[in-house]
Amino acid sequence: MSHHDAAHAGGAHDAHGDHRPSIYDPRRWLFSTNHKDIGTMYLVFAIIAGLIGGAMSGLIRWELKEPGITFLPHLVHVPHAILEQVRLGVMNADQLWAWKVDAAKHFYDTLVTYHGLIMIFFMVMPAMIGGFGNWFVPLMIGAPDMAFPRMNNISFWLLPVSFTLAMISFLVPGAGDHAGFGGGWTLYAPLSTNWGGGATPFSYHDGPAMDFLILSLHIAGASSILGAINFITTIFNMRAPGMTLHRMPLFVWSMLVTVWLLVLSLPVLAGALTMLLTDRNFHTNFFNPAGGGDPVMYQHLFWFFGHPEVYILILPGFGMVSQIVSTFSRKPVFGYLGMAYAMVSIGLIGFVVWAHHMYTVGMGLDLEAYFIAATMVIAVPTGIKIFSWIATMWGGSIDFKVPMLWAIGFIFLFTVGGVTGVVLANSGVDTSFHDTYYVVAHFHYVLSLGAVFAIFGGFFYWIPKMSGYRYNGFLAGLQFWIMFIGVNIVFFPQHFLGAQGMPRRHVDYNEAYQYWNNISTIGYLITAVGVLVFLVTLVEMFLVKRKAGANPWGEGANTLEWSLSSPPPFHQFNELPVIKPEAGH
Amino acid sequence: MKRGALSTIAAGAAAIFGAGSALAAEGAPTPGGVHFQEPATAVMRDIVSFHDNWLMPIIVGVSVFVLALLLWVIVRFNRRANPTPRKFTHNLLVEVIWTIVPVIILVVIASQSFPLIIKEETIPQSEYTLKVTGRSWSWAYEYPDLGVSFTSSILSDEDIAARNAGDPEVPARRLLSTTEPLVVPVGANVHVLVTSEDVIHAWAVPSFGVKEDAIMGRVNETWFNVDSPGVYYGQCSELCGKDHAFMPIEVRAVSRAEFAEWVVAQGGTMPGAPAVGAGGEPEAAAAAPTR
Ligand code: HEM
Ligand SMILES: [Cu+2]
Ligand SMILES: [Cu+2]
């Protein structure tokens, strides 16, 4: 977008005043106010959370490999009281197994729940917003740091607190004897309340697990809101001279839209969670029909947050893919303004489509018609993005470096996820697909194959800048191909399962669904190998220490971060770079 | 209405599915299947045709188009084939095209989508009203006007084995068959009221094109009209706790005569028949519309 003459302003100048503390000094991390260190912590956190969430999905897929409940019973925690009964001979081995099978049903539900929550709140969001956002928004707009560095610190450190609470929630009693909350990441009331008990002890969550989870999500939400305020302030107030809004790199635009969505949608989630908390603990009846409340109101509140949230998960990816495609095509982004305002309009429309997640609650014809129309409108700006990426490559001189592989994979697989979204938008057909594996396939195509591909693309694009080292191209390329094949084998067959009517969140299935479930699990194993190769690539990179220059990608990489050394100085842009309009822009 | 559940079921099943009764259809998943279950109602046929004739061609077309463009740029504009990149960043014509064409496609989709939801959501004049109540974890059924009500739970593995040992025409299916199937008449509009006693469940029968949330404190409505006799399965489709995967739905669609027999066997009264209890409603039958 813009030329700059920052090379001397940033890198060279700062180098001699650069007091970079040792990485072994805990104070550097605990008290960090440095956007790059905080970004690094976010990325490390996201990788760890991603491995935990990924392990949970492995347990899910392993249980679903064969019909019957065969695997998870081996893993469930058996309370002391039950063991005592076995010891006393009151319970024989068969009865113990039956108890474990029963417990495994709830355990399965908790795995599905915490897998979703971890991947959304503790993997994708921290990686994209906290990690890449913190690292590169200040660098790309020519700012020395974020606007509120100490708030940045607390935004990050709230996250491990929140994650710890979520893990506690996973382990403490949730429903009756069984640990954890098993009501899905959507936390629908009344299942997430504790009104039940009596004849149906497991249908409600009477234990503390749900309360811990509410607390965890409140804190994660506070962390995100603080982070979002920080980004908004930084982007509006700390751009270098000449860096007008319309000259900002698209990644910064994507972050700006994302954080606005966060600020506007998270308070609604917080409200819904608070109502759940008081319904559970203080006998309010927000969602209890017996007291004049309405369970459907919970869903409206949740999805008023939830739909913008799914765009929060993908918009930074849009930004990263734009940078990557432009860099490796050695060509400026096609239709820059269209790209920026497509994201703005996706953000705006994203607030008025929420009830497409609730077509089966009995909302009536008129409302369904409205939500169908509004939802499909989103496909227009989404199409503009897809075609503009391709137009950016068109006429370019494309270098198929690893980040570019991920970006091209993203464009295609996101398209596949997008078109199934358009199918689901039609409530008439959603009657068949809602709450089946078709929906699971849809959102994993946009998330596991969309957002995650964007994250890997961004990671390999920027890791030379962040670490100062080049990755091993063979290993990283190998990881791409293994994962590309693996995730498609996991998720494509799930469209078939959904069409055949297999409901989601079922621990067991009829034998007719075995064929594709088995293949899906094989896909998981392939994907897991890809993740291992990723870890090997990381270790290899830090062991071999191939030095990366300031700009390993050449002329196509013309945003400000590439004008700095790799890794950048601890404090950059003490003398602000001046951005001049690009000739002929 | 009191009866030994199992013996009544056995007797009823024998009466309904005795030798010679044409039980062609089965609405169940097929091993390795990649498409919808066989439709059993006009609504489901419309869903399938909207999906197959409109949505699929469009989404496959769009995906293949994007893939082809990507492959083209990969082959044509890689570093070797095109060493010097061009620098253009705008082309008004293509930008207008890729905004307008999707809009047109979406309008076409909507033009097909709206009639479908009107059909699904407009409850026609119905002969029978069926009340479905979800509870953790079984379904309670009631024909309020016929004086029939019962509960239907999952059939245990032992009972499935026992039933299949007799080599029945329609085998019992694991996780799909129930202790007592819901029986409905073929070719009649059935107005379904769905509610819940506790958490949210969803009453779904894929081959009917029906999925309706069962929510405490609210009565949702939907409808179906089954084409031909058969057994149609469904499963709870809203996470409702531990045994969510174990509260199946089994619907047996039978001829009107067999339905009437079944109602009587359940201790109910068909409208027009000499009243046993209260509530025979002769007009209901007279008003039977063709849908
Ligand atoms: C063209 C764009 C899109 C359209 C029209 C669309 C439409 C829909 C619809 C109608 C549903 C509800 C399906 C159901 O539950 O029956 C849905 C579910 C979902 N979508 Fe999309 N979608 C689009 C893009 C995305 C994107 C970009 C993401 C995130 C990156 C996303 C993530 C999800 C998730 C997570 C769910 C499932 C939520 C749940 O029930 O747990 N979608 N989508
Ligand atoms: Cu949505
Ligand atoms: Cu259920």
The mean per-residue pLDDT over the stretch A352-375 comes to 96
Sign of CA dihedral A545, A546, A551, A555: negative
Q: In this complex, which of A188, A329, A508 lies closest to B245 when CB atoms are compared?
A: A508
Annotated catalytic residue, options A356, A401, A434, A470: A356
- pLDDT value of position A199: 52
**Which atom of ligand 1 is the closest one to the Cα of A446?**
30
Q: In this complex, which of B77, B98, B240 lies closest to A203 when CB atoms are compared?
A: B240
The best mutation among A115, A360, A424 to test binding of ligand 1, ranked by most ligand atoms within 8 Å of the C-beta, falls on A424
What is the distance in A from the centroid of ligand 3 to the CA of B152? 14
Structure tokens at A483: 């994962």
Q: How far apart are CA A284 and CA A294, in angstroms?
A: 12
Annotated catalytic residue, options A61, A239, A385, A401: A385
> Any idea which residue has 């370019």 for tokens?
A396
- Give yes or no for a contact between A493 and A356, defined as CB atoms under 8 angstroms apart: no
Which chain B residues are within 8 Å of A412, Cβ to Cβ?
A: 63, 66-67, 70
- Give yes or no for a contact between A454 and A410, defined as CB atoms under 8 angstroms apart: yes
Which chain A residues are within 8 Å of B102, Cβ to Cβ?
A: 379-380, 383
A331 is catalytic: no
- pLDDT value of position A203: 60
- pLDDT value of position A180: 95
Best CA proximity match to A221, nearest among A270, A170, A161: A270
- Would you tell me how many other CB atoms lie within 10 Å of the CB of residue B2? 6
Instruction: State if residue A525 touches ligand 1 by the CB under 6 angstroms criterion.
Output: no
Selected residues 158-177 of chain B with any CB under 8 Å from a CB in chain A: 173-176
Which chain A residues are within 8 Å of B234, Cβ to Cβ?
A: 501
- Residue-wise pLDDT for A365-376, tens only, equals 999 999 999 999
What is the distance in A from the centroid of ligand 3 to the CA of B237? 6
Start-to-end CA distance of chain B, whole Å, equals 32
Is residue B63 within 8 angstroms of chain A, CB to CB?
A: yes
**Ligand (nearest to CA of B248):** 3
Which chain A residues are within 8 Å of B94, Cβ to Cβ?
A: 387, 391
- Using the beta-carbon criterion (under 8 Å), do A496 and B30 form an inter-chain contact? no
Is residue A434 within 8 angstroms of chain B, CB to CB?
A: yes
- Using the beta-carbon criterion (under 8 Å), do B98 and A384 form an inter-chain contact? yes
The mean per-residue pLDDT over the stretch B156-184 comes to 92
Q: What is the 3-state secondary structure (H, E, C) of A448-483?
A: HHHHHHHHHHHHHHHHHHHHCEECCHHHHHHHHHHH
- pLDDT value of position B276: 46
What is the distance in A from the centroid of ligand 3 to the CA of B260? 31
- Residue-wise pLDDT for A480-531, tens only, equals 999 999 999 999 999 999 999 999 999 999 999 999 999 999 999 999 999 9
- pLDDT value of position B23: 53
- Give yes or no for a contact between A39 and A113, defined as CB atoms under 8 angstroms apart: no
DSSP string, A497-564: HHHTTPBSS-S---GGGHHHHHHHHHHHHHHHHHHHHHHHHHHHHHHH-EEP-S-TTGGG--SGGGGS
Mean pLDDT over the full length of chain B: 87
The mean per-residue pLDDT over the stretch B166-191 comes to 93
Instruction: State if residue A307 touches ligand 1 by the CB under 6 angstroms criterion.
Output: no
The distance of Cα A277 from the centroid of its chain, to the nearest Å, equals: 25
DSSP string, A198-211: TTBTTSS--STHHH
- Three-class secondary structure of residue B223 per DSSP: strand
A357 is catalytic: yes
Which chain A residues are within 8 Å of B34, Cβ to Cβ?
A: 496, 499-500, 516
What is the DSSP code (8-state) at residue A119?
I
- Give yes or no for a contact between A273 and A217, defined as CB atoms under 8 angstroms apart: yes
- pLDDT value of position A9: 42
A223 is catalytic: yes
- Give yes or no for a contact between A193 and A211, defined as CB atoms under 8 angstroms apart: no
- pLDDT value of position A579: 85
**Which atom of ligand 1 is the closest one to the Cα of A447?**
30
Would you place residue A192 in the very low, low, confident or very high pLDDT band (cuts 50, 70, 90)? very high
Stronger pLDDT, A579 or A232, i.e. the higher one: A232
Mean pLDDT check: name the lowest of A146-160, A201-215, A338-352.
A201-215
CA dihedral A44, A46, A50, A52 (to 10 degrees): 70
- pLDDT value of position A176: 84
**Ligand (nearest to CA of A505):** 3
The distance of Cα B120 from the centroid of its chain, to the nearest Å, equals: 11
- pLDDT value of position B245: 97
The mean per-residue pLDDT over the stretch A28-40 comes to 95
Mean pLDDT check: name the lowest of A172-176, A268-272, A417-421, A519-523.
A172-176
Is residue A496 within 8 angstroms of chain B, CB to CB?
A: yes
Stronger pLDDT, A582 or A581, i.e. the higher one: A581
Annotated catalytic residue, options A13, A28, A330, A504: A504
- Best mutation target, B66, B75, B132, B151, to test chain A (most A CBs within 10 A): B66
Structure tokens at A269: 């989630």
What is the distance in A from the centroid of ligand 1 to the CA of B173? 32
Compute the residue count for chain B.
291
- Using the beta-carbon criterion (under 8 Å), do A420 and B59 form an inter-chain contact? yes
Instruction: State if residue A484 touches ligand 1 by the CB under 6 angstroms criterion.
Output: no
A99 to A508, B245, B261: CA distances (angstroms):
16, 17, 42
Sign of CA dihedral B172, B175, B178, B182: negative
Stronger pLDDT, A580 or A122, i.e. the higher one: A122
- pLDDT value of position B9: 43
Instruction: State if residue A172 touches ligand 1 by the CB under 6 angstroms criterion.
Output: no
Q: How many CB pairs under 8 A join A and B?
A: 304
The residue whose C-alpha atom lies closest to atom 16 belonging to ligand 1 is A434
Selected residues 359-378 of chain A with any CB under 8 Å from a CB in chain B: 360-362, 364-365, 368-369, 372-373, 376-377
C-alpha distance from A528 to closest chain B C-alpha (Å): 25
Would you place residue A23 in the very low, low, confident or very high pLDDT band (cuts 50, 70, 90)? confident
- pLDDT value of position A329: 96
- Three-class secondary structure of residue B99 per DSSP: helix
Would you place residue A12 in the very low, low, confident or very high pLDDT band (cuts 50, 70, 90)? very low
What is the distance in A from the centroid of ligand 3 to the CA of A508? 13
- Using the beta-carbon criterion (under 8 Å), do B200 and A386 form an inter-chain contact? no
* Strand B230-234 versus strand B25-27 pairing type: parallel
- pLDDT value of position A119: 97
- pLDDT value of position A18: 62
Structure tokens at B274: 């000499």
Q: In this complex, which of A105, A190, A376 lies closest to B109 when CB atoms are compared?
A: A376
Would you place residue B24 in the very low, low, confident or very high pLDDT band (cuts 50, 70, 90)? low
The mean per-residue pLDDT over the stretch A113-133 comes to 98
- pLDDT value of position A436: 98
Residue B288 has pLDDT above 60, yes or no: no
Q: How far apart are CA A268 and CA A274, in angstroms?
A: 10
Residue B182 has pLDDT above 50, yes or no: yes
The distance of Cα B270 from the centroid of its chain, to the nearest Å, equals: 26
Is residue B114 within 8 angstroms of chain A, CB to CB?
A: yes
> Which amino acid belongs to residue B241?
G
Residue B128 has pLDDT above 60, yes or no: yes
C-alpha distance from B257 to closest chain A C-alpha (Å): 31
> Any idea which residue has 């491995």 for tokens?
A51
Q: Which residues contact B180 (CB under 8 A, 6 or more apart)?
A: B5, B9, B150, B151, B152, B153
Bridge partner residues of B193 (DSSP):
B131, B221
- Give yes or no for a contact between A372 and B55, defined as CB atoms under 8 angstroms apart: no
> Which amino acid belongs to residue A533?
V
Is residue B204 within 8 angstroms of chain A, CB to CB?
A: yes
Instruction: State if residue A440 touches ligand 1 by the CB under 6 angstroms criterion.
Output: no
Residue B17 has pLDDT above 50, yes or no: no
Would you place residue A200 in the very low, low, confident or very high pLDDT band (cuts 50, 70, 90)? low
Greatest CA separation for chain A: 85
Is residue A173 within 8 angstroms of chain B, CB to CB?
A: no
Instruction: State if residue A238 touches ligand 1 by the CB under 6 angstroms criterion.
Output: no
A19 is catalytic: no
A218 is catalytic: no
Residue B14 has pLDDT above 50, yes or no: no
Stronger pLDDT, B23 or A505, i.e. the higher one: A505
Cis peptide, bond prior to residue A406, ω within 30 of zero = no
The mean per-residue pLDDT over the stretch B9-23 comes to 43
A36 is catalytic: no
A309 is catalytic: yes
B189 to B123, B219, B251, B256: CA distances (angstroms):
9, 18, 15, 12
Residue B82 has pLDDT above 80, yes or no: yes
Is residue B289 within 8 angstroms of chain A, CB to CB?
A: no
The residue whose C-alpha atom lies closest to atom 14 belonging to ligand 1 is A434
- pLDDT value of position A583: 41
CA dihedral A457, A459, A465, A468 (to 10 degrees): -120
A504 is catalytic: yes
Mean pLDDT check: name the lowest of B19-28, B87-96, B257-266.
B19-28
